[in-house]
Chains A and B, each alone.
Chain A
Amino acid sequence: MAGAVARVSGPVVIAEGLTNAKMFDVVRVGELGLVGEIIKLVGETATVQVYEDTTGIRPGDKIETTGQALSVELGPGLLKSIYDGVQRPLDVLQKNLGDFITRGFVAAPLDETKKWEFTATARVGSELTPGTILGTVQETPLILHKIMVPPEVRGTLTALSSGTYTIREKIGTMKGPAGEIPLTLTQRWVVRLPRPVQQKLAPTIPLLTGQRVIDTFFPVAKGGTAAIPGPFGSGKTVTQQQLAKWADSDVVVYVGCGERGNEMTEVLATFPNLVDPKSKRPLMERTILIANTSNMPVAAREASVYTGITIAEYYRDMGYDVALMADSTSRWAEAMREISGRLEEMPGEEGYPAYLGRRVAEFYERAGRVVTLSPDQRTGSVTVVGAVSPPGGDFAEPVSQNTLRVTRVFWALDASLASRRHFPSINWLQSYSLYTGDLEEWYRTGIARDWASLRQRAIQTLQQESELQEIVQLVGVDALPEREKGILDVSRMLREDYLQQSAYDEVDTYTSIQKQYRMLRAILSFGEREQEAIGKGATVGQLQQLPVRQKLSRMKWIPEADLTNSFDQLEAEMTQSVAQLATES
């Protein structure tokens, strides 16, 4: 079924004579066998987007279809891997090609020689439905990999035995309606199709991140979607990396989509050295990295987010909570635009293709907490956090707008906060989370009964501050009554001692939800005492001089181990010293 190249223009190649070609089939182009995908068919003329640089390709070069759509291989060995956008392992590429990626090289996504210890759990003779667990492989010390019956496969298990296998060896067989089905440790899945589930569940459990502004003010639920739009230099990448490091998900998939090489290197260099806060094991043991930097082929960038989410869904199907970070979906959208432009399609807004909104919505819809397709009703979740990089910081552009329509959390990064070195620079007035209602019950029973009211009071105080600031702009601080100065004082503490959190400080980088509660309570109750003292004639100036203030502003460095004691002491000292000041005045 070999056809021939009829035209080549950048990453787009038009092929003739490809009989039996189907949409989204993977093809190999030219002598080098560059990998591409059919994106348009007119008769026997196929338009192909090529995942590698097409320099040197000429009309008449042969082009062959593999008959299969772009898919990923799923099985033990995914964790700890670093892939490009089409699941080629970067370390294997380096071993074979050197420091620069040349073209036409095919690499197996998973190590084909490694032996895995497989423990069979399914009984021979039983009827198997999709998602049934055949057995397990300890993929890394952190993650038990469950070998499942692939979706759309059912039948009777005729043979299965424990033992050590490579991913290419047969572990057993099933007898289906169409005959015998060999079983291995792996399965394939087409990246552009969501893996099927039984049912989606309501988002009622928060994904805790250890980041105060997120967990307290704008939480995301497990299985939720969040968008981080931010102009460049506003700390977007650092925020995403913090999430990848600290979020309480079982598996992390990090997609570096069209981003900087050196930043990807930072991820590649720091992740292997990170220690999982709970297990004290290397974080990489539950992480998969996908790196398609901005100078790598644009079509592979377009595919990279699909590769990432398909892998995430696979671990979800095992019953894990997975967090997927995509940095940045704007680069993905631009890849779509670039290819659409090469196809000379009629553009929609700002040159983006008319199907941009649909593609964005389809992608985020693959997130969710679900009952997986399985007889034992396993639940799992995929949480998607997508970064958006609006040109010029203008949120009115199509990618941001289409993203905001489908995501339920919005962390608005603010360049003016970043320039003041307020990190994470999530603007507390513009950001929102539509999950707070769904999650309230969890916080109430899991943390403290007064959680919601504390949170509400904190937000109100910050809101009041922004209103007061407008007055201050006109008349100066001194013209305000003492009570309002008190509000400004508390909101400043909220901003500087609570919302600001250093990603680079060993202690401050992660705050447990319990500690967050105690910190927030400490600041707000100081605020209450302050108002009481002001009522009795104390001034804000005096209150600011109290030695306990120093201790409040150093709260973030209180070690997690000594939480209750330290905070009880602090609150006692605070109550006592404010009360003393009040009686003295």
Chain B
Amino acid sequence: MASTKAPKTAPVDADVPIDYRTIERVSGPLLFVRDVERAAYGEIVSIELPNGDRRQGQVLDSRRGLAIVQVFGPTMGMNVHQTSVKFMGEVARLPVSDEMLGRVFNGLGEPRDGGPRIVSEQRLEIVGNAMNPYSREEPSEFIQTGLTNIDVMNTLVRGQKLPIFSGAGLPHNQIAAQIVRQAKLRDSTENFAVIFAAMGITSEEANFFLKEFESTGALERTVVFLNLSSDPSMERIITPRMALTTAEFLAYERDMHILVVLTDMTNYCEALREVAAAREEVPGRRGYPGYMYTDLATLYERAGKIHGRKGSITQLPILTMPADDITHPIPDLTGYITEGQIVASRELQRRGVYPPIDVLTSLSRLMNQGIGKGRTRDDHRGVADQLYASYATGKDQRALSAIVGEEALSSVDRIYLKIAERFETEFVGQRPDEDRTIDESLAIGWDLLSALPEAELKRVKPEFIQKYYKSRPAA
């Protein structure tokens, strides 16, 4: 996080900013400004249009006599002669204060709810410095989401970044809303807040979330940054940084536990690509810029916990995979940065299962630190592994039985087939308002596993079989 005091990281020229009226070219979201000698890389720019409108921008490339400025907003109405460009001598900053809770801002951090502007001594650089890996604290506190599938199989922990990979038409918003509503630490009611950053989502989706927060009374503990699909796409590059800067302030200076929902990261990446194309950069895969990995990392890596500070930042980014393709650059690069992924499945959706989360492709990389004795329950790891294996086997049997018929399966295989069925309906499936405790969830797991002969339970330690296995009278 940026220093909270003097802006010592960016040299600021004390002299009054000069107006430049030397725009050479306007190309997409970019302005090419001539005769600028000393624009700083990343400097904020204020642009005044002939009709008096103002826009903000940022220097992307600076050389003697030319600055390339990326405009946050439409370039409509700009012309080369009368538009004036003012270099502000500092990098982008966001005033932060406690007053932000309960407020709705636009993608650039300006009030959208008719309320007053945030006035604060503290203006933080929105491009945060990298957290020293040595200062990080290993995330290990179990967050109970009340969704069996996530809690047992892909456990979320405080300080983790766990994206939802979804597709068009899948209920990722409902899942995210349910997580936000139900997420809690076991036996704890600590200082908790939600930061919601929307990038290019429709007003209907935005309203769904706002209503959701309102109806659960969560709005006072929420900060919303809204960039709708009708808003300028370039703002989207700033929006998540605004949200994360606010999150860092609340987490590390106000000791709050922050859940950041970023949706939809696909739109963010498209905006990045738009800028790269306008600059005529050498494109990487599918036209996305070669630095997209680094760029995404500077967002996602702002999740975490710090030794000696109370607060934490947990991220729940949502992205829609174009054509449900998990190898597309956006989910692919995201998956390499985040600590796992929750994958929504169209197949389960068609089978009428809610939440349609596919266990086999989902993963939580920080799960092991958050589960087990003292955190969830001693048998958690074994149960999760056994369920995974059983479901995978059951799905294989399902494919096989489609060819050879169920009768050709061995008796054990038929049990697996049934388990896969029950796994989807009883274990994964639950009502959108159903909040299961971890013990309830594990009990459902044992209920399923108890259908198997004891010898099949190779991943569970014998002592736990003794304790939890419900032996059935032979049928």
CB distance from A240 to the nearest CB of B (A): 14
Known contacts being A57-B40, A474-B403, is A334 close to B290, with CB within 8 Å?
Answer: yes
Interfacial chain A residues near B283, Cβ < 8 Å: 351
**Is A296 in contact with chain B by the CB < 8 A criterion?**
yes
Q: How far is A298 from B293 in the complex, measured between Cα atoms in Å? A: 10
Q: How far is A528 from B6 in the complex, measured between Cα atoms in Å? A: 77
Interfacial chain B residues near A477, Cβ < 8 Å: 410, 413
**Is A295 in contact with chain B by the CB < 8 A criterion?**
yes
CB distance from B305 to the nearest CB of A (A): 9
Q: Output the nearest chain A residue to B407 by Cβ-Cβ distance.
A: A476
Q: How far is A350 from B329 in the complex, measured between Cα atoms in Å? A: 12
Q: How far is A30 from B252 in the complex, measured between Cα atoms in Å? A: 30
A4-33 interface bits toward B, Cβ cutoff 8 Å, 1 = contact, 0 = none = 001111100010000000000000001110
**Is B21 in contact with chain A by the CB < 8 A criterion?**
no
**Residues from 265 to 308 in A contacting B, C-beta threshold 8 Å:** 265-266, 268-269, 291, 293-298
**Residues from 215 to 266 in A contacting B, C-beta threshold 8 Å:** 232-233, 237, 256, 258, 260-266
Q: Are A265 and B132 in contact (CB under 8 A)?
A: no
A102 in complex: contacting residue of B9, B61, B301, CB < 8 Å? B9
**Is B91 in contact with chain A by the CB < 8 A criterion?**
yes
Q: Are B365 and A263 in contact (CB under 8 A)?
A: yes
Q: How far is A31 from B38 in the complex, measured between Cα atoms in Å? A: 14
Interfacial chain A residues near B408, Cβ < 8 Å: 475-476, 478
**Is A211 in contact with chain B by the CB < 8 A criterion?**
no
Q: Are A262 and B39 in contact (CB under 8 A)?
A: no
Known contacts being A100-B1, A101-B132, A338-B291, is A55 close to B385, with CB within 8 Å?
Answer: no
Q: How far is A116 from B224 in the complex, measured between Cα atoms in Å? A: 56
Interfacial chain A residues near B455, Cβ < 8 Å: 550
Interfacial chain B residues near A30, Cβ < 8 Å: 11
**Residues from 372 to 409 in B contacting A, C-beta threshold 8 Å:** 381, 385, 388-389, 392-393, 400, 403-404, 408-409
**Is A173 in contact with chain B by the CB < 8 A criterion?**
no
Q: Are A295 and B369 in contact (CB under 8 A)?
A: no
Interfacial chain B residues near A98, Cβ < 8 Å: 135
Binds A, one of B109-117, B203-211, B335-343, B466-474: B335-343
**Is B368 in contact with chain A by the CB < 8 A criterion?**
yes
Tally of chain A residues near chain B (CB < 8 A): 77
Q: How far is A313 from B340 in the complex, measured between Cα atoms in Å? A: 35
B82-120 interface bits toward A, Cβ cutoff 8 Å, 1 = contact, 0 = none = 000000000100000000000000000000000000000
CB distance from B303 to the nearest CB of A (A): 8
B290 in complex: contacting residue of A237, A337, A392, A474, CB < 8 Å? A337
A49-88 interface bits toward B, Cβ cutoff 8 Å, 1 = contact, 0 = none = 0000111111110000000000000000000001000000
Interfacial chain A residues near B400, Cβ < 8 Å: 473, 476
Q: Are A59 and B39 in contact (CB under 8 A)?
A: yes
**Is A103 in contact with chain B by the CB < 8 A criterion?**
yes
Q: Are A54 and B41 in contact (CB under 8 A)?
A: yes
**Residues from 24 to 69 in B contacting A, C-beta threshold 8 Å:** 37-43, 60-64
CB distance from B462 to the nearest CB of A (A): 9
Interfacial chain A residues near B38, Cβ < 8 Å: 58-60
Q: Output the nearest chain B residue to A99 by Cβ-Cβ distance.
A: B135
Known contacts being A232-B335, A338-B291, is A100 close to B129, with CB within 8 Å?
Answer: yes
A82 in complex: contacting residue of B41, B134, B291, CB < 8 Å? B134
CB distance from B190 to the nearest CB of A (A): 20
Q: How far is A31 from B328 in the complex, measured between Cα atoms in Å? A: 42
Q: Output the nearest chain A residue to B36 by Cβ-Cβ distance.
A: A59
Interfacial chain B residues near A550, Cβ < 8 Å: 455
Q: Output the nearest chain B residue to A232 by Cβ-Cβ distance.
A: B335
Q: How far is A478 from B39 in the complex, measured between Cα atoms in Å? A: 77
**Is A504 in contact with chain B by the CB < 8 A criterion?**
yes
Tally of chain B residues near chain A (CB < 8 A): 92
Q: How far is A481 from B222 in the complex, measured between Cα atoms in Å? A: 65
Main secondary structure of the interface of B (DSSP, over half): loop
**Residues from 127 to 180 in B contacting A, C-beta threshold 8 Å:** 127-139, 159-160
Q: Are A59 and B340 in contact (CB under 8 A)?
A: no
Q: How far is A35 from B363 in the complex, measured between Cα atoms in Å? A: 38
**Residues from 97 to 117 in A contacting B, C-beta threshold 8 Å:** 97-103
Q: Are B290 and A504 in contact (CB under 8 A)?
A: no
Counting chain A CB atoms within 10 Å of each CB, the highest count among B134, B136, B252, B455 belongs to B134
Q: How far is A57 from B67 in the complex, measured between Cα atoms in Å? A: 13
Interfacial chain B residues near A405, Cβ < 8 Å: none
Q: Are B61 and A7 in contact (CB under 8 A)?
A: yes
Known contacts being A101-B132, A294-B294, A421-B388, is A350 close to B41, with CB within 8 Å?
Answer: no
Known contacts being A295-B301, A420-B388, is A351 close to B64, with CB within 8 Å?
Answer: no
B381 in complex: contacting residue of A9, A261, A496, A504, CB < 8 Å? A504
**Is B431 in contact with chain A by the CB < 8 A criterion?**
no
**Residues from 297 to 334 in A contacting B, C-beta threshold 8 Å:** 297-298, 331, 334
**Is A94 in contact with chain B by the CB < 8 A criterion?**
yes
**Is B351 in contact with chain A by the CB < 8 A criterion?**
no
B439-475 interface bits toward A, Cβ cutoff 8 Å, 1 = contact, 0 = none = 0000000000000000100110000000000000000
**Is B323 in contact with chain A by the CB < 8 A criterion?**
no
Q: How far is A113 from B381 in the complex, measured between Cα atoms in Å? A: 47
Q: How far is A475 from B139 in the complex, measured between Cα atoms in Å? A: 49
**Is A419 in contact with chain B by the CB < 8 A criterion?**
yes
Counting chain B CB atoms within 10 Å of each CB, the highest count among A54, A264, A266, A298 belongs to A266
Q: How far is A8 from B11 in the complex, measured between Cα atoms in Å? A: 15
**Is B366 in contact with chain A by the CB < 8 A criterion?**
yes
Q: Output the nearest chain A residue to B90 by Cβ-Cβ distance.
A: A56
Interfacial chain A residues near B294, Cβ < 8 Å: 294-295, 298, 334, 338
Q: Give 4 closest A-B pairs by Cβ, nearest first.
A: A392-B327, A294-B297, A7-B63, A55-B42
> Could you name 30 residue pairs across A and B whose Cβ atoms are closer than 8 Å?
A56-B43, A59-B38, A60-B38, A90-B134, A94-B132, A99-B131, A99-B252, A100-B1, A100-B129, A102-B129, A103-B129, A233-B363, A258-B293, A260-B301, A261-B304, A262-B303, A294-B294, A338-B293, A347-B282, A391-B327, A393-B327, A394-B327, A419-B361, A419-B388, A421-B385, A421-B389, A475-B408, A476-B400, A496-B458, A553-B458
13 additional A-B residue pairs with CB within 8 Å, beyond A294-B297, A392-B326: A6-B64, A8-B41, A57-B40, A57-B41, A100-B129, A262-B366, A263-B365, A268-B134, A291-B133, A298-B294, A338-B290, A338-B291, A553-B458
